[in-house]
Amino acid sequence: MNYPASDWVGNARPGLTTPFIRARDWLDERGKFAWLATMVLGFILFWPVGLAILGYLIWSKRMFCSKRNHSARGSSHLFAQTTGNSAFDAYRDETLKRLEDEHHQFVDFLQKLREAKDKAEFDEFMRGNQARGTATSGDIEAPRAS
């Protein structure tokens, strides 16, 4: 993979390759494990270097997803590509639709379950509050007029 040389803010500058850019490209070609090994070596040799590499991995999102996932990340139709087999594509689309419907039904069920639990807790609280209210109301005497 050849990435264009860029400065610190990501602006491409033709003809400029620094050791850092070449190292980044070299590690990108070898994948996530190369980055992790470099980070571990950085921590072993001098901990601020390892910390800087970890920060860069998190900041550039290299830690969480691979290069091929960057292009598909914004696509909501990740499985919309056809395989060439129309029967399988129809089955897959039907299954995904069914699973999506089941997911929505399950989320709705969980919401109703939470609401029922909240209502039961509130009703129990109110019953306890009323029981305390009747016990304490008998102990308090009304002021007498003199």
Overall pTM surpassing 0.85 (yes/no): no
State which of 22, 53, 70 marks the end of a domain. 70
The pLDDT assigned to 118 comes to 93
pLDDT single digits (tens) 41-71:
989 988 888 888 888 888 887 766 655 444 3
Q: How far apart, in whole angstroms, are the C-alpha atoms of residue 117 and residue 48?
A: 49
The answer to the question of residue 6 being in a domain is yes
Query: In total, how many domains does the chain have?
Result: 2
Q: What are phi and psi of 132, to 5 degrees?
A: -70, -35
State which of 42, 70, 98 marks the end of a domain. 70
What DSSP element (H or E) covers 39? helix 32-45
- Do 85 and 64 lie in a common domain? no
The answer to the question of residue 82 being in a domain is yes
- Do 15 and 56 lie in a common domain? yes
DSSP secondary structure code for residue 83 in this structure: -
Position 11 pLDDT exceeds 90: no
pLDDT single digits (tens) 89-142:
999 999 999 999 999 999 999 999 999 999 999 999 999 888 887 655 555 555
Residue 89 domain boundaries: 78-139
DSSP secondary structure code for residue 62 in this structure: T
Name the region of 29 (left: φ>0; alpha: ψ -120 to 50; beta: rest).
alpha
Q: How far apart, in whole angstroms, are the C-alpha atoms of residue 38 and residue 44?
A: 10
Secondary structure of residue 68 in the 3-state scheme: helix
